[in-house]
Amino acid sequence: MKYVSTRGKAPVLSFDDALLAGLASDGGLYVPETWPRLTRPEMRALSGLSYTEVAARVMSPFVGAAIGEDDFTRMVVDAYRGFDHPAVAPLTQLGRNQWLLELFHGPTLSFKDYALQLVGRLFDHVLARRGERIALICATSGDTGSAAIEACRDRACLDIFVLHPKGRVSDVQRRQMTTVASSNVHNIAVEGTFDDCQDLAKGMFNDRAFRDRFRLSAVNSINWARIMAQVAYYVVAAVALGAPGRRFTFAVPTGNFGNVYAAYAARRMGLPVNGFVIGSNVNDVLTRYFATGEMRVTPVHPTLSPSMDIQVSSNFERLLFDYYGRDGARLGPVMERFRKNGQAAFGKNRWRRMARLFSGFSVDDEATKMAIRVIHRQTGQLLDPHSAIAVTAGIGRHDYKTSTLVSVATAHPAKFPQAVEDATGIRPPLPAHLADLHERPERFETLPNDLGVVQDFVTQRLAGGTAS
Ligand SMILES: *Cc1c(COP(=O)(O)O)cnc(C)c1O
């Protein structure tokens, strides 16, 4: 499989080169040149297989010949070995024709582990084979950072720099990042928002000399390999519930649009999906877009669901690529204008076609707490704020007669204990392996929202104090 940029001007790459590159050199995102197909007989043959068996089959066309089949299968098995549920991504029934897909059974308790545990291994494998070393840059709104650190800590061929917005991630989220005492892990608290962190990361990539000097790469959801790994659990869930003989609606709590885009990719491969519901908090740029056809970026407000406190959803560009006829030369200038102006319409007809498949539903903090309380009372299930938004959004938009609703739980309730306790009176305990998290010493650097200062810090850490 070859990978092309959504802006059409970057070189076409193999899977391993796209993995290491992260962002494309023209500012676009890498996507597969064609969508592989999963036929109905192939889907039926997945029934009864384990998570890792299904995942390996779903992902193998995306990897192609870039990594040997035995090596790849070994990495997939190894990536999910440490998860604390034998099904890896178990389903819980919430009501008639309504299910919850639990994606919080990895080491850092969010769905980000499902992609990053594999991606860390892929990076190490490819770099070791080439005898190379790189520095990963990661902007996080809370959960990516810890999942990336856990996937990269102590790996021989990697350094990892994680930028989080100071004071805008939960205590548990911060401590999961800052208490890892590995010399290849560097935490930066940025005095700004997640979008500022993301802009700083992009700024470092766009500085060509800097990027090449330190061999920068990204593990943000702009990295194609993460999307690929996430396609797997949508197929696993749908097959377990009766695909291809049943149709589905997926409700996904959405920030950067990576997770719901993976569900869309599963549909492109052939999964029978009627539609996607995008759950958002008051930072609802996508919900407003699908409702009105106008995308307008507004300032970010902190909420109980900080991993969705985002106004610019990077992976939306990947969806647009398909709706612009997979023509990067046409999409490139549109994206550049959008990034400059903070608003765009992307064409009325195009919007109508997208809005047939995608709808949004926005849930504010009060309604989120209410949802946590009601769902707990009705089903016994404790949900974190992000997951509660997904369930609420799903119920708000789903047609029970025509499809089965699968809402995605993206974080363990113990990651956001205060919101859960406020809503239910129950403080969810951390799993045993994190029980002493609040006693571990923290290590991080606080830096202003200033590209030059952040670059100096990275230089110092990688070049041993020879900052220029
Ligand atoms: C990252 C994250 C999201 C948003 O996912 P995207 O792929 O960025 O849309 C939602 N919920 C939780 C708990 C997250 O960590």
**Which pLDDT score, from 0 to 100, does residue 249 have?**
98
Amino acid identity, position 144: T
| Closest by Cα among 413, 31, 15, 444 to 221 | 31
Mean pLDDT of 210-237: 92
**Least-confidence region, from 54-58, 174-178, 374-378, 462-466:** 462-466
CA nearest neighbour of 24 among 218, 181, 174, 175: 218
Q: How far is the CA of 106 from the centre of ligand 1 (A)?
A: 14
**Active-site annotation, residues:** 112
Query: With a 6 A CB cut-off, is 256 part of the ligand 1 pocket?
Result: yes
Average pLDDT, rounded, for the chain? 95
The verdict on the CB of residue 186 being under 6 Å from ligand 1 is: no
3-state secondary structure of 5: strand
Ligand 1 binding pocket includes 411 (Cβ within 6 Å) = yes
| Protein residue whose Cα sits closest to atom 15 of ligand 1 | 143
* 44-74 per-position pLDDT tens digit: 999 999 999 999 999 999 999 999 999 999 9
Per the CB < 8 A criterion, the answer to whether 371 and 48 are in contact is no
Written as six digits, the tokens of 345 are 């319409």
Query: How far is residue 404's CA from residue 241's CA, in Å, rounded to a whole number?
Result: 9
- Write b or e for each residue in 174-212: b if 16 or more Cβ atoms lie within 10 A of its Cβ, otherwise e: bbbbbbbeeebbbbbbbebbbbbbbbbbbebbeeeebbe
**How far away, in angstroms, is 128 Cα from ligand 1 center?**
30
The letter for the amino acid at 440 is R
Q: Tell me, what DSSP letter sits at residue 12?
A: P
Going by their DSSP bridges, the two strands 248-253 and 185-191 should be labelled as: unpaired
Q: Distance from the CA of 213 to the center of ligand 1, in angstroms?
A: 31
Cα angle value 100/105/110 (rounded, 5°): 85
> Would you say residue 369 has pLDDT above 50?
yes
Q: Whose CA is nearest to atom 2 of ligand 1?
A: 307
Q: For residue 135, which phi and psi values (nearest 5 degrees)?
A: -115, 125
Atom of ligand 1 nearest to the CA of 141: 1
Instruction: Decide if pLDDT at 101 tops 60.
Output: yes
Identity at 255, one-letter amino acid code: G
Residue 372 has pLDDT above 60, yes or no: yes
| Angle CA 313–75–408, to nearest 5 | 40
Distance 253 CA to ligand 1 centre (A): 6
Distance between CA atoms of residues 292 and 424, nearest Å = 35
Pocket probe for ligand 1: among 259, 278, 311, the residue whose CB has the most ligand atoms within 8 Å is: 259
Q: What is the pLDDT of residue 370?
A: 98
CA-to-CA dists, residue 407 to 21, 90, 157, 270, 316, angstroms: 32, 12, 37, 20, 20
pLDDT of residue 148: 95
The beta-strand segments (E) located in 42-132 are: 91-95, 98-102
Give the integer Cα–Cα distance in Å for 242 and 254: 25
| Ligand 1 centre distance from Cα of residue 297 (Å) | 19
Annotate 182-226 with DSSP letters as a single string: -TTEEEEEEES-HHHHHHHHHHHHH-HHHHHHHTEEE-STTSHHH
Q: 169 CB less than 6 Å from ligand 1? A: no
Residues contacting residue 467 through CB under 8 Å, at least 6 positions apart: 456, 459, 460
Give the distance from CA 49 to its chain's centroid. 25
Pocket test for ligand 1, best of 29, 105, 108, 111 (most atoms within 8 A of CB): 111
Beta bridge partners of 185: 160
Pairing of strands 134-139, 158-165: parallel
**pLDDT score, position 319:** 98
Q: Give the DSSP H/E element, type plus range, for residue 151.
A: helix 143-152
CA distance 203 to 139: 12
Residues forming beta bridges with residue 448, ordered by sequence position? 191
pLDDT by residue (tens digit) across 386-417?
A: 999 999 999 999 888 899 999 999 999 999 99
pLDDT of residue 385 exceeding 50, the answer is yes
Q: Is 410 in the pocket of ligand 1 (CB under 6 A)?
A: yes
Which residue, 354, 356, 353, 373, is CA-closest to 365?
373
β-pairing verdict for 404-409 and 30-32 = unpaired
- pLDDT the model gives residue 468: 42
Q: How far is the CA of 111 from the centre of ligand 1 (A)?
A: 8
The residue whose CA has the least distance to atom 1 of ligand 1 is 307
Which pTM was predicted? 0.93
State if residue 303 touches ligand 1 by the CB under 6 angstroms criterion. no
Average pLDDT on 197-207 reads: 92
**What is the Cα gyration radius of the chain?**
21
Q: Is pLDDT of 466 > 50?
A: no
User: Nearest to residue 279, comparing CAs of 386, 356, 357?
Assistant: 386
Instruction: Look at residues 56, 58, 172, 165 and name the one whose alpha carbon lies nearest to residue 104.
Output: 172
Cα separation, 22 vs 30, in Å, equals 8
Contact (CB, 8 A) for 390 and 100: no
175 Cβ inside 6 Å of ligand 1: no
Non-local CB neighbours of 226 within 8 Å, separated by 6+ positions? 115, 116, 119, 219, 220, 258
Owner of token pair 């810890």: 146
Closest CA to 313 of 387, 222, 229: 222
